Each structure stands twice: as structure tokens, then as C-alpha cells.
Amino acid sequence: MRIVCIKLPKNTDAQAIAEIFYRATPQIRLRQAGNMPAPFDHTAIFLEISKCHNLYSESTFLKRTQVTLECIDIRAELAIADDISTALAMAIYPVVDKESLPVESLIYYSDPLGQYPDQHGLVVKAVSLLKSLRIHTLKDFLKIPSYEISPRFGSVILMAYQRILGLHDIPWTEFIPRHVVEEKHEFDLAYPPRDLEPIYFTLRPMLEKLYLRLRGRGQRVRQFKIVLQQEYETRKNQQSYEVPIIIQLPFVSVKTIFQITKEKLDAVVQRNPLEHAIVSVSVVVTEEAPYLTSQKDLFDQKKEETSESFFHLVSRLATKLGNEGAFFAQIKENYLPERNWFRVPEKSADTAQESFIPERPLRLLKEPMLIFIQNNRMVYNRLPYDITEWKNPEVLLSNWWEISGGERVYYTLNTTSGDNFWVFRNKDSYYLHGIFE
């Protein structure tokens, strides 16, 4: 077994960081600071990577982990060993081999995940006893016969002893990523920001972290909201200021997501200024979509750039206009003209077969418009049209519960002006539904 230990700064959310590495291995265990006394209180992530040696080497993995953590502004200590306890001890004490570890590392062997703070006192007492016996390293400690450990130092130290020898494994429980993906940053209450500039500095690594967390579970962000928590309630009783962002298409880089977010935040705050200082900023993912990997085209850089600018444009339009503001059309064979296409956010393969449906007008009104036809004369947009021909009659049946439900008898009307209209008769009334423009 090969375990990588990532020792994080104390106040880091280990679960969130672990989600980033979920892509590399599903075998993850955490140690969260807060339970143990100060010098031994550490936050760490343990990744079991022995099954993934065909995907990456140990040195590659360590380098990539270091780079990933730098992207999100986290400085961590990395170590690799055969078990969780040794990996943690080696991340804390910079030594080359296990036997050179100081005897204090028994604390990590007895409780590597920081789950049992009650037994910490016993271990500290045993360590001081060992030191008084001039036993300073694990090499010296292992010279003590195993049958003497329990009566002299207790069962907890015996368990640590067995863990050093690799006889007592820690079970791997299932790692479950959080259901709601959220990142939050609280500002220093002594100097809370009053404009957006300091928020952008914190927002960029937050978005990067969010992107990597979702990437870890094979997802990408489709919609998220920025929540700015104000110091006091505003006149409208809204303490939090929410800005929704839509990322319509995949393969958008964090840089693009940040640009879209910045544009939207600037526009919203300009329209509706902040009333109080900001105490915290959160990014909450409201909709995810599968992350589809694609091979980067190294030989056609221009194509890559064009795709990126296209995704940027579509996401910017969707953020401004709403979810259905920018879309592709998906065709569906249906006799009812209002049902034979629908909006899709991403291009998908056209499943429609050869059309057997009669010619449809290029312009279709959103709702059929009631019109009056008398003596072959109709009025549309306050203009009279003289009908010369009624042709292509077609009977369609629509849902009875709709306004123009039931039987519709469609006609193409040719007029003297050259304009051709598509109207239908329904319950003795005429409705204009389309224009052959």
C-alpha cells in the first residue's frame, strides 16, 4: 500500500480539498484539526494510490498535487509512505526513513486520524517516559521486545508498536463528497471591504477550488450563485446579495468563468449598489453537468482559442439573458408546429429522420393570434391584405385543454401583396400562426 499524506494548514477544510483528489483515487481518509491539543493538532488528507500506478508514478503524482494546491493558494507538506501513520509522521517531521522518526511520532501512530482525543494524555505520558529512558527515535523504540510494551506502557502504545511494524491496519471507509458544493470566505471584521475589488482577489482562488472540486467528481459547474453577505440588513431586509451566473457550455476555463462573474457582478452592483460593507462572500453551485473530457489540439491553437471565445460568449449571453436566452435548436418530428423543435443548451446529434410533414412557415408566432377574415380580406398589424388563394388545407388535432385546442384546419393564404400567411380555423374563429416570409 502506498499512502500520500497532504498536511494542510490547520484551518483548511480538508473535505473540500479531498474532493479535488477524488479523481485520482477513491480511497481517501481525513484528519481534521480541532480535536487534539495544539502542537499535535493537524489537518491532513490521506490518499491511497497503490492501485493507480499505471496512471501516474509517485513522483508525478506528488508534483501534480503540489501544483494543484498552489493554484488554490494552499501551502502543504507532502509525504509518501506504506501506511497512514508513517505518511503523516513523515509529513510532520522531515526525515528520510521511518526508523529515524522521533518518538513523539507515536502520537500519530496511536491515533493517525485524530479521532480519540481521550487517549492523547496516555500517549504523551508514555512518550515522556520513553524519553527519560533515552529512547529518542522509533529505531530505539523497536528494540524493546513486544511482550514488554503492554505491561510497561499500556495497550495504546502496543497498538502504535504494531502499527510501526505494519501489523495493525486502519480500515478505509467510503469517502462521500458533499452534496452541496460551496466555498465561503469571511473577511476580517475590522476592515470589511466596501467595494468589489478586494472581493475579486478572494473570488479567483475560490472559483478555482470549486472548479477543481467538481472536476474531481467528473462534473462541471453549469449554474452557481455568488452570495455577498452584508454587515447589516438593508432597507429591503436583504442582508445577502445574490448574483446568479450561468455557464452554458463545457470546457470553459476558470479564467473565463472569473471574467463572466466579474462582468456580471460589476453590472449588478452598478445597477443596485451595495449599502453596507461585505462580511463574507460565498460561491454556491446550484446546477452541475457532466464534465466531458476532450483531447487538446496542440497543432491547431487557433481552433482552441475560437472554441474558448465561443464558450465565453455563450456563457456571457446566458448569464445576461437567462437560461434559455442563447440556445441551439433540436428538431423533433411532430405534426403540431409549436412542438417540433425545442431549445437545448448544447449541440446534440440530430435524431430527426427525413421529414414527412408538409412545409411549415419560417416565421411562427409564439401564440396563435386571433384575426378576422371577411370577404377574403384580413387585417394584420393594422394593414389590410386581400386574399387571392386559400391552399394546402391541413387538419391537425391539438390538446383539448389548450386555448386553441381541438381541431385546427390550417390554410396557406396567398395575398395580393405577395405575403403568404398560415392561418387556422378553430371553433369558427381564425388564428394567424405563421408567415411564409
Q: Does 262 bind other proteins (CB under 8 A)?
A: no
Residue 347 touching other proteins (CB under 8 A):
yes
* Cβ-contact 204, 255 below 8 angstroms: no
Half-sphere exposure of 13 (CA within 13 A, CB side): 16
Query: Which listed residue (133, 176, 331, 403) binds other proteins by CB under 8 A?
Result: 331
Q: Which is nearer to other proteins, 31 or 312 (CB)?
A: 312
Q: Which three cell numbers stand for residue 220?
A: 462541471
Sign of CA dihedral 119, 122, 124, 130: negative
Residue number, 165 or 357, with CB nearest to other proteins: 357
Q: Which residues, in sequence order, are CB contacts of 281 under 8 Å at separation 6+?
A: 184, 185, 187, 199, 202, 203, 206, 226, 227, 228, 229
Q: Binding of other proteins at residue 378 (CB under 8 A)?
A: no
Q: Does 418 bind other proteins (CB under 8 A)?
A: yes
| Nearer CB in complex with other proteins: 165/352 | 352
Q: Does 259 bind other proteins (CB under 8 A)?
A: no
324 binds other proteins (CB under 8 A): yes
Tell me: does residue 327 bind other proteins (CB under 8 A). yes
Find the part of the chain contacting other proteins (CB under 8 A) among 49-57, 163-171, 400-408, 415-423.
Answer: 415-423
Q: Which is nearer to other proteins, 219 or 340 (CB)?
A: 340
Q: Which of 35, 280, 323, 420 binds other proteins (CB under 8 A)?
A: 420
Q: How far is the CB of 343 from other proteins (least distance, A)?
A: 8
Helix H segments across 56-185? 58-71, 84-92, 106-110, 120-132, 138-141, 146-153, 155-164
Site string for other proteins, 288-317 (x = CB under 8 A): ------------------x--xx-xxx-xx
Is 437 a binding residue for other proteins by CB under 8 A? The answer is yes
Checking 164-167 for CB contacts under 8 A at 24+ apart, the result is 164/85, 164/86, 164/98, 164/109, 164/138, 166/82, 166/83
Query: Which among 11-19, 107-115, 362-370, 423-431 is the span making contact with other proteins, rule CB under 8 A?
Result: 362-370
Of residues 7 and 433, the one with the C-beta less far from other proteins: 433
Residue 419 contacts other proteins per CB under 8 A: yes
CA distance 290 to 231: 37
Closest to other proteins by CB, 62 vs 243, is 243
Q: Min. distance of Cβ 407 from other proteins in angstroms?
A: 21
SS3 state at 12: coil
User: Closest Cα partner for 88 from 160, 186, 176?
Assistant: 160
Residue 344 Cβ vs other proteins, minimum distance, rounded to whole Å: 10
Q: Minimum CB separation from other proteins for residue 387, in Å?
A: 14
CA dihedral 429, 430, 431, 437 (to 10 degrees): 180
**Residue 390 found at the interface with other proteins (CB under 8 A):** no
Look-up: residue for cell 460561491?
Answer: 283
How many residues in the shown chain lie near other proteins by CB under 8 A?
A: 41
Question: Among 6, 11, 61, which residue's Cα sits nearest to residue 34?
Answer: 11
341-344 vs 363-371, strand pairing mode: unpaired
Taking alpha carbons only, the member of 210, 246, 209, 242 closest to residue 226 is 242
Contact flag: residue 321 with other proteins (CB under 8 A): yes
Phi-psi sector, 406: left (phi>0), alpha (psi -120 to 50), beta: left
Q: Whose Cβ is closer to other proteins: residue 137's or residue 323's?
A: 323
Q: Which residues bind other proteins (CB under 8 A)?
A: 306, 309-310, 312-314, 316-317, 320-321, 324-329, 331, 337, 340-341, 343, 347, 350, 352, 355, 357, 359-366, 417-420, 434, 436-437
